[in-house]
Structure 1
C-alpha cells in the first residue's frame, strides 16, 4: 500500500537571502550533493519567530552572526514547494510533502572572512556571491520556482 503524499503537510521553514553591499546573493554548495547550490534555509523550531529562525539558521550554516546583518525584507507570503518523487518519504522521516517557506532578506555588513562554513553541523562545502540569473540557473529544479519568485519580489535590492 502506498502512502498518499499529497495529504501530508508542508514543513514550516525559513529561508535567508543574504545580500552583499553590491546586491549579490550568498549561495552555498551542499556538502552532500555536488553541484547543488542554495541559500541558507531550515526549519522553524516550536515557539520560534521566523526572523529568529532565519538568524539562527544563518549562524548555523554560515557562521555569520546577527551583528553582521540587517533585515531589509521579507516575502509577502509563504512560498511552498513539493519534494520530487524520489525524495518523498525519505527525508524528514516521511512526515512532510515539501516545505512552506517564509524568506527573510538580510544585508551583510561584514567581511567575507566573517563567513565560516566549519560550523557544528556543516551543510555547505564552499560558497560564493552570485547574481540573480546564476542563482536561479544553479538551484535544484524542484526549488527553481521559489527562487524565481524571490528574485522577482526583491529585484530592487539585487545587483
Structure 2
C-alpha cells in the first residue's frame, strides 16, 4: 500500500494514518474490449484491498510527479460519495461497496469534537 501511495501521490507512511481497511478482497473484471490480449500475463481485472487513510501532513506534500509515467494528472478534495458517481461503470460496484463499508468510520470522524489545540507554553513572571 505504501509503495502505491508514494508512486501515485508522492506520500509516505509518515504522511497518513490508516483508519480502516476493507474486511475482504474486492474484485472487478475488465470489459472484454479493454483486455489487452497481447500482454503477458493477460490482465482481466483486479483483486484489491482498500484502505481509508487520513492525511496528517500538508496538502502541499502531495506530488503527482514521482513517476516517469504519472497515473494521475491532478487531485482535489471532493464530497464523500462523489467518486461512486464519477468512476468508470465496470468499477462502480467495487467503489460503492468500499464507500458503504467505510461510511460509518467517516461519519464518526465528522461527528467527533475537534481536538483542542495545544496552548503556547507561556510563563508568567511572578512578583
TM-score under structure 2 normalisation?
0.76
* Contact 2:10-2:61 within 8 A present in 1 as well: yes
Which structure 1 residue ranges, 4+ long, deviate > 4 Å from structure 2? none
Residue 156 (structure 1) aligned with residue 96 (structure 2): no
Instruction: Report matched runs for 1:18-33 at 5 Å.
Output: none
Alignment of 1:77-156 (within 5 A): 77-90=24-37, 93=40, 95-121=42-68, 122-156=70-104
Q: Whose radius of gyration is greater, 1 or 2?
A: 2
Task: Flag structure 1 segments of 5+ consecutive residues without an equivalent.
Answer: 1-53
Number of aligned residue pairs: give it.
106
Q: CA deviation at 1:96?
A: 2.8
Tell which deviates more after alignment, 86-95 or 65-74: 86-95
Cα deviation per residue 1:83-102 (whole Å; 9 max; x = unaligned)?
01211234853523211111
> Structure 2: where are the runs of 5+ without partners?
108-127
Higher relative contact order (CA 8 A, sep 6+): 1
Alpha-carbon distance in 1 for matches of 2:57, 2:100: 26
Q: Pick the structure with more helix per residue.
A: 2
Relative distance call for 1:97 and 1:66 in structure 2 (3 A) is: same
Residue 125 of structure 1, CA deviation: 0.6
How many angstroms does 1:126 deviate by?
0.7
Task: Give TM-score scaled by structure 1 length.
Answer: 0.61
- Quick check: 2:21–2:51 contact (8 Å CA) kept in 1? yes
Greater fraction strand: 1
